[in-house]
Amino acid sequence: MKGERSYVQRDYRDWHEGQDLKYFQVRVKQSDLAIGVDLKNYSDSLLTLCRNYLIRLRGELEDYIKLQPLFQTTLLPIALRGDAPEIARRMGLASAPARVGPMAAVAGTIAELMGEKLAPLCQEVIVENGGDIYLKSSQERIVAVFAGESRFSYRIGIRIAGSKEGVGICTSSGTVGHSLSLGRADAVVIRADSAALADAVATGAGNMVSCKADLMKAVDFAREIPGVTGVLTIKGDQMAAWGQMEIIPLHHSKP
């Protein structure tokens, strides 16, 4: 319904609003995607398509890593082989301006490629992969922010206006989850034209936050990267933000 808000956040598969969407999960090895599409375009064949495509993406990446093992282990950008598949190419391009290794962009890149696969088939598409989100929606959505033990966790959201273009909203944390971060931010949320870029920059900016005094340094770093359109950094009871980050209060209790 026009004007109705829908909520999406790191573990929205357990706590979300948005009855206009059909949610389903696709799991292959370490990849665990939560996907939401408009009800009228969902079918069992769509789920099969997503699973087969995820298997293909993971296979292409695993095969490439065998050819260039450093791609998986480096914490810095590296030059790619000329025969790199699209998934590796996007990860490499995203990692360069963020000053991180290409694996820092893997979750966002998979979400983005899956979202782009679904976009011609569905009017509404949300793909979440480990807290990294590709979103293409004709109506307003609210992305809720998870920031560990911070007072802001689940209490604020980012308003995303409806658009014909996809957007990436990715989060890095040095206090929550298993993803590698060299910093101690409760959350660094990046909005970008690309989910691959948002993922890499969230990691790069998050690496800079050791204490509350570093929040603006991380914001200033991220805002200078072309393609980044919004930045939010959180540490404890403080936050800093820039760009297209319309932050609103949420009146939900923690799950």
> For 45-71, how does the pLDDT look when each residue is reduced to its tens digit (9 = 90+)?
999 999 999 999 999 999 999 999 999
133 DSSP β-pair partners: 128, 169
* Residue-range definition of the domain harbouring residue 54: 6-249
Domain with residue 108: its CATH number is: 3.10.520.10
Question: What pLDDT score was predicted for residue 2?
Answer: 30
Task: Give Cβ neighbours of residue 130 (< 8 Å, ≥ 6 apart).
Answer: 32, 107, 177, 179
Q: Does residue 143 sit within a domain?
A: yes
> Which residues in 22-36 are b (16+ Cβ under 10 Å) and which e?
bbbebebeebebbbb
Burial of 227 (0-12, 13-18, 19+ CB in 10 A): middle
Tokens of 213: 């005094």
Task: Give Cβ neighbours of residue 34 (< 8 Å, ≥ 6 apart).
Answer: 12, 13, 23, 24, 25, 127, 128, 129
Q: Does residue 205 sit within a domain?
A: yes
Q: Does residue 254 sit within a domain?
A: no
> For 91-112, how does the pLDDT look when each residue is reduced to its tens digit (9 = 90+)?
999 999 999 999 999 999 999 9
Question: What pLDDT score was predicted for residue 24?
Answer: 95
Total domain count for the chain? 1
Q: Does residue 213 sit within a domain?
A: yes
Question: What pLDDT score was predicted for residue 86?
Answer: 99
Q: Does residue 255 sit within a domain?
A: no
Among residues 195, 194, 221, the alpha carbon closest in space to that of 207 is found at 221
- Give the type of residue at 202: A
Question: What pLDDT score was predicted for residue 15?
Answer: 39
Which element (helix H / strand E) includes 58? helix 44-67
Q: Does residue 164 sit within a domain?
A: yes
Question: What pLDDT score was predicted for residue 243?
Answer: 98
Question: What pLDDT score was predicted for residue 18?
Answer: 58
Tokens of 76: 């810095």
The segments of the chain whose pLDDT lies below 50 read 1-17
> For 160-178, how does the pLDDT look when each residue is reduced to its tens digit (9 = 90+)?
999 999 999 999 987 665 5
Q: What is the DSSP string of 194-214?
A: -HHHHHHHHHHHHTT-SSGGG
Q: Does residue 171 sit within a domain?
A: yes
Per the document, the length of the chain is 255
Q: Does residue 30 sit within a domain?
A: yes
- pTM for the full model? 0.90
Question: What pLDDT score was predicted for residue 9?
Answer: 45
Report CA torsion sign: 179, 49, 12, 215: positive
Question: What pLDDT score was predicted for residue 253?
Answer: 52
Q: Which three-class secondary structure state does DSSP give residue 22?
A: strand
Task: Give Cβ neighbours of residue 185 (< 8 Å, ≥ 6 apart).
Answer: 172, 173, 174, 175, 206, 209, 215, 218, 233, 234, 235
